[in-house]
Amino acid sequence: MSVSTVTKEQFKSFVAALVNSDQKVVGVQAKDDKFAFGELTDADALRLDYDVTILPPKKYVLPQKETLMNFEVAGAAKTVCPDEKMVLLGVHPYDMVAINQMDELFSQGEYDTHYMNRRDNITIIVCDVVTPSENVFASSMNTATCDSGYDILLTDIGDRFVVEAATEKGEALVKTINGAKEAAAADTDKRKAVQEKNIASLNKHTLECKPSDLPDLLEKAYDHPVWEEKAKLCYSCGSCNQVCPTCYCFDVQDEVNWDLKTGSRCRSWDGCLLSNFATVAGNHNFRENRADRFRHRLYRKGKYVPGKIDGQIACVGCGRCISACTSKIANPVEIYNTLMEKA
């Protein structure tokens, strides 16, 4: 596949053309003094220099709320299948890694048609990080760069972008960029320098072990006092779940229409920190204590999910939970490091 360079002006013209086509384009834009992914209607609004978005791009593969099927109370049901095509512009490498993990999780075992349909309809353009966010620790999680999942990889090398097409879909899009030139060795060297810098500097918190050591570390940490200590301040507000690119739990509810004969089944984001997350039939809640729920999230990231996807750690170091937690207790690095101290 091709590696080329384009000037920033040329890239902007390309985005403008995309925005004006009938293709849905989603990109990162400013939201007050933060950033968020949203539908792009103006190429000038795209902010590839963003630090981090409030919510990760998972909202396009697993929306906050979606209808799974419409049903008749009497029995018949019809699955609703999402088929909207879109270009997702400006995904950071750590978020790409998270989507790659979810792709594995939603396609293994019971294949999730809703998730996978959305995913298959999305063309992803990843861009290497330009501005590190206040709490990013992708360096520690080996997610400062990524090498799969995207259709196009974009790297800002100062006056130009290096544009790498990674799939047929990506190649076809790159072909529409007017003025793209084959990248010279000097350009790919510059790209390498940017990536190496990110590998070293997306490190606002430093995990004091290899990510691959986490499952064993957690194996012995179940009764560690840190869970109680931190959870004392936990509001069970689920913010740490909501903003996490690798949290994928959902709740399913049926809603009935005014005719009282038809309705729809919807799923919406759930979170393992919420007090009723683990409540099952008969009102039995098997994680009633805050500390149990607080611990569960860190075990999901460091042990349980890795057990399902060949040891990949389900924390990609985006730092969002650290910023989102009102009580300032959610920092995974701080907790994992504490476990090491006393282990």
Instruction: Determine, following the binding rule CB under 6 A, whether residue 198 of this chain makes contact with ligand SF4.
Output: no
Q: Which of 64, 107, 113, 212 binds other proteins (CB under 8 A)?
A: 64
Radius of gyration of the chain (CA): 21
Instruction: Determine, following the binding rule CB under 6 A, whether residue 337 of this chain makes contact with ligand SF4.
Output: no
Q: Is the dihedral of CA 247, 148, 312, 209 positive or negative?
A: negative
Single out the residue of 146, 174, 134, 155 nearest to residue 57, CA to CA: 146
Task: Tell me how far apart the alpha carbons of residues 240 and 323 are, in angstroms, rounded to a whole number.
Answer: 9
Q: Considering the complex, state which of residue 2 and residue 279 has its C-beta at the smaller distance from other proteins.
A: 279
Amino acid at 127: C
Q: Which of 28, 318, 335, 339 binds ligand SF4 (CB under 6 A)?
A: 318
- Distance, CA of 251 to chain centre: 19
Which range binds other proteins by CB under 8 A, 84-92, 178-186, 219-227, 231-239? 231-239
Q: Are the C-beta atoms of 319 and 133 separated by less than 8 Å?
A: yes
Return the bridge partners of 285, or none.
279
Q: Is the dihedral of CA 67, 169, 314, 38 positive or negative?
A: negative
Report DSSP state, residue 50: -
In angstroms, what CA-CA distances link 174 with 15, 45, 125, 151, 177?
Answer: 11, 21, 11, 10, 5
Task: Tell me how far apart the alpha carbons of residues 173 and 199 are, in angstroms, rounded to a whole number.
Answer: 28
Q: Which of 123, 145, 246, 312 binds ligand SF4 (CB under 6 A)?
A: 246
Buried-state track 217-249, b at ≥16 Cβ within 10 A, e below 16: bbeebeebebbeebbeebeebbbbbbbbbbbbe
Q: Which of 238, 302, 319, 332 binds other proteins (CB under 8 A)?
A: 238
Q: Where are the beta strands (DSSP E) in the chain?
A: 3-7, 24-31, 34-39, 65-72, 77-79, 86-91, 122-127, 152-156, 160-165, 181-182, 250-256, 262-269, 279-280, 284-285
Positions 62 through 121 that interact with ligand SF4 (CB under 6 A): none
Q: Which of 232, 307, 340, 343 binds other proteins (CB under 8 A)?
A: 232
Q: Considering the complex, state which of residue 33 and residue 159 has its C-beta at the smaller distance from other proteins.
A: 33
Which range binds ligand SF4 by CB under 6 A, 75-83, 167-175, 192-200, 320-328? 320-328
Q: Which of 233, 311, 340, 343 binds other proteins (CB under 8 A)?
A: 233
Q: Considering the complex, state which of residue 201 and residue 338 has its C-beta at the smaller distance from other proteins.
A: 338
Which range binds other proteins by CB under 8 A, 18-26, 27-35, 181-189, 205-213? 27-35
Q: Which does 321 bind (CB under 5 to 8 A by kind): ligand SF4, other proteins, none?
A: ligand SF4
Q: Which of 191, 287, 301, 303 binds ligand SF4 (CB under 6 A)?
A: 301
Q: Are the C-beta atoms of 314 and 300 separated by less than 8 Å?
A: yes
Q: Which does 269 bind (CB under 5 to 8 A by kind): other proteins, ligand SF4, none?
A: other proteins
Q: Considering the complex, state which of residue 123 and residue 241 has its C-beta at the smaller distance from ligand SF4.
A: 241
Within 10 angstroms of residue 63's Cβ, the number of other Cβ atoms is 17
Instruction: Determine, following the binding rule CB under 6 A, whether residue 139 of this chain makes contact with ligand SF4.
Output: no
> CB of residue 137 vs ligand SF4: minimum separation in angstroms?
7
Could you list the residues that contact ligand SF4 (CB under 6 A)?
234-240, 243-246, 273, 294, 301, 315-321, 324-327, 329-330, 332
Could you list the residues that contact other proteins (CB under 8 A)?
31-34, 36, 54-55, 64-65, 73, 232-239, 242-243, 253-258, 260, 268-269, 271, 274-276, 290, 324, 326-328
